[in-house]
Every structure is written in C-alpha cells, then in structure tokens.
Structure 1
C-alpha cells in the first residue's frame, strides 16, 4: 500500500465511522472499485485506532467525568450514564468476537454490502421520520441502552454502519437527533478500543510504516471534524441526506458488479 492509498483510506474511515454511511463498507468497496490490493483487516482496525483518537479527543472532558462519576458516584446522572454505556457495549463486543472470521470473508461481498447500505439507509430515514425526537441525554434509561446496544451488534456487517444503526435505535426510543448521535459517539469508545486491541495484538513493528502512520493520523483528524460537523448539522438537518447517499452508492456497486461480469 502506498501513501496516497493509505491517506484516502484514512479519510474514508474518519468520515464513515461517525457519519451514518458505514466505514467498513467503504473500506471494502474503495479497493474493490479501484482494484487496489485488499488492505487487510489489521489495517482496517488500525484506522479504527485513528477514529478512537478522534472521539476521545472530542469528548475527553465528558469521558473523564463519566468515568469518575461511574466509579465514585454511580447513582448520579453521569454515573448512571457511564454504566448504561458499559451495558450497551456488551452485545457488540460478543458479536464481534464470535463473528470475527465472517467479518473478514463472507460479510465483505460487494452485493451484500449494497443490500445492507440500502436497507439501513431506508431504516435510518424511517426512524428519523417516526421518532418523537423529544428526549435528551438525561432522559436515557437502562432499557434504551440495551436496545441501542443490541442494535450495535448488527454493525458487524459492513454496510449496516455502527453509527447509523445506533442512531436509528436512539431515534426510535424517542431521542433527539443530536442526542442519538452523541450517545452513539460515546458508545463507540469501548467498542472501537476493543476491536483495535483484539486485532492489533498481532501487529508487528515492521507493519508500522509511513503509510500506516499517515492513515491513522488522517482518520483521527477527519474523524474529529466529522463528529463536529454531524453534531452541528443535526441541530437543523435530518438524516435524509445520508439515506440518499447510501442508496446511490448501492446502485453504483450493483452497476459496477454487473458491468464487470
């Protein structure tokens, strides 16, 4: 992999991890479109390390307060939210561990990704339309966390989008758009960290070269900006923009697939 490819993949990861368009789908489709060598799951997760840096850098004050309250003031509002986030992370961690092999093989089919992009795009639009959008962070309950956490488990499939499906689940529980996004971003910290640790344990020093470093840094910077953009955008805009993007990308995948046959 050369420097240009690594930076492009970092850009895609930074955008796709936090915008509801599926970073894993884009990391499969981009090399497929341009016939690049598959960068491998280890590099994918290394890019997730970049987005982990992004979300921690953006929410570091919130995270410190949540951890302190969770450990020392568990009955406080932030203390409860900390443990809700822990509970919400469990289903995704279990599914990720059990389906690790399928993630690298079966789930990387372009046509399957086109299908999941479309279905999840429609689901996102529907959730945005029917959700009450009245509840804020202080209104989140344990039941909400379990629902959103179970939905996150499905994000193991490329095209579903971790942020997209958790935001959809949040909207269906009545959360405001910005609240659903913020809760989704905070949930991403343990799940991204766990995925990175699981895969990076096999990383060798020889693999940490210039493209690798630039990819991670690009994902971190772009991810930070994507978080900032989406939280500001959702104050006034809807998720329909991302639904249209997902459907158009899915149509492009199908067209390229049949053209190459």
Structure 2
C-alpha cells in the first residue's frame, strides 16, 4: 500500500476506508458544484468527525464525478454544441454561433490550465499551506462579498445564447481563482457570470458549460499523478467508490442549484459562505480545528 505523502502526493484518503470515503464522496459531490467551496467542506467535515484530511489529490480526482454530473445534466447542451460544431467545421461555417461558443470555451480554459501547471507543486503537495483553515476562511468571506456585489449590481437579463468571447474569457479568468481552496470553481465563475449581467440560471449554465474542459483536465491529471505515485488496487477501489457516490450527489446538487437560482437568488449561498468563513477563522484562532 502506498504510504500517504511519501511520494509528495497526498494520498491520505487511503487510510480512511470505504465507509468514510463514501460519506466524504457525498459531501464532495454536493459541495463541488454548489458555490460554497468543496475544499472548505472537505477540510471541515473530516476534522469535525476526527478523521484525517483526505488530501487535495482526492478532491481533485473527485472532479471527474462532477464532470459526469455536469455532462449528464446538460446533455442536450453538450450534444448540441458537439454536433453543431462538427457540422459547422465540415461545412466551413466558421462563424456558426455554437462553434464560436465551443472555441471560446476552449480559449477560456487556457488561464486555469496555465496557472494550474505553475502552482501544481504547491496545490497538491502534502500539508499544502493553501489548505490551511485561515486561507480557506478568508477565501470564503471574500467570495461571499463578491457574490453579494454581483447579485446587487447585476441586471440579470442575458442568456448563454448571446454570450461573447469577452464574456467567456472573463469567466475563464475568474475560474483561475478556484485554484485557491475556499474560492470554489462554481462560486467564482457563477459570480463572474452574474456580474456580466446573465440571468441567474443562465449564469449557472454558462459556468458549468465553460467548466467542462477545466474539470476534465484537472481530474484526469490527478488520476495520472496518482498512477505515477504507484497507488495500489486498494487505493484505486476506494477512489472508485468515492467517484460513484460523488457522481450521484453531484447530479442532485446541480438540480438543487438550478431550482434555487430559478426561484430565488444566490443570497442563500452568500450568507452560507460568509458564515462558514467566519466560523473557520474563529475555529482556527481558537485551535478548535487544525
């Protein structure tokens, strides 16, 4: 069995066993696609239960569960973009709106890909300083403030169909913030889309569609890193269970988010993030959680 942290990759999830990883899979799946930061919850929940931190490698690999949920939920959009883009290329209709959107999504993925490579040594290392509770707490509070401003100032009128290259690039740049634990990929991109004037449910749709390449790259990269770390069959089976459970809970999370944004607003997430950040800072300063 691979010993956690001996290869520089945090494989602490292996010591938790199947039952605990299944529980964390539910937590990861729900919080990965809600704008409330999965990293924050994957640090807090194990700490409250007296379990060890499953590690950033586990969180990153779990993004493949989020990918499966996003593609399943938005299958009609994904299929339409794929079919229309192939058809447009064959017919040399290079100004086709759906082909343009696919190209823009690809370009918007470049910033987080570049930043992820640069920061990989810090993000996934054992006991990464970026996973410290004060960092996560402040990130939660900062995103709560930004999301609140986006809710207040946005006109909530636009749809994905009239998105532009500039919109995609700006949301793509916001996605880079997700590399900081506590920010949340869903939270940063949703906030950016709201700030650009998209309707709440359209902002979420744009956020998820734009995130597909980034989620796929991050999850695949982490699987490759775990392969290079010589993860044994026991480790892979535990990870597989987590992925299955997280996929189901992630699909439920998307459904809940879309319903909430259609009927209400992002304010419940603003309040939750703000309170979570404050509690994390207090718990850290009092050494209640480490």
Q: 2:5 is matched with which residue?
A: none
Tell me, what secondary structure is at the counterpart of 1:134? coil
Q: 1:229 is matched with which residue?
A: 256
Is 2:247 the partner of 1:220? Answer: yes
Is 2:269 the partner of 1:242? Answer: yes
The match for 1:76 among 92, 96, 114 is: 96
Q: Unmatched 5+ residue regions in structure 1?
A: none
Count of residues in correspondence between the two structures: 260
Q: 2:12 is matched with which residue?
A: none
Q: Unmatched 5+ residue regions in structure 2?
A: 1-15, 89-93
The CA RMSD over aligned residues, in Å, is: 1.6
Q: 1:140 is matched with which residue?
A: 163
Where do residues 64-213 of structure 1 align in structure 2 (5 Å cutoff)?
64-73=79-88, 74-104=94-124, 105-201=128-224, 202-203=226-227, 204-206=231-233, 207-209=235-237, 211-213=238-240
Tell me, what secondary structure is at the counterpart of 2:263? coil
For residue 205 of structure 1, report the CA deviation from its aligned partner: 4.5
Larger radius of gyration: 2
Structure 2 distance, partners of 1:196, 1:32, is 24
Deviations 1:104-129 (A, max 9, x none): 31210100100010110111111011
Q: 1:21 is matched with which residue?
A: 36
Deviations 1:76-135 (A, max 9, x none): 222221112111111111111111122231210100100010110111111011011111
In 2, are the aligned partners of 1:52 and 1:189 still within 8 Å (CA)? yes
Structure 2 distance, partners of 1:70, 1:86, is 13
Structure 2 distance, partners of 1:186, 1:36, is 34
For residue 220 of structure 1, report the CA deviation from its aligned partner: 0.3
**TM-score normalised over the length of structure 1:** 0.94
In 2, are the aligned partners of 1:113 and 1:158 still within 8 Å (CA)? yes
Runs of 4+ in 1 over 3 A off after TM superposition: 32-35
**TM-score normalised over the length of structure 2:** 0.85
In 2, are the aligned partners of 1:13 and 1:51 still within 8 Å (CA)? no
For residue 157 of structure 1, report the CA deviation from its aligned partner: 0.2
Q: 2:22 is matched with which residue?
A: 7
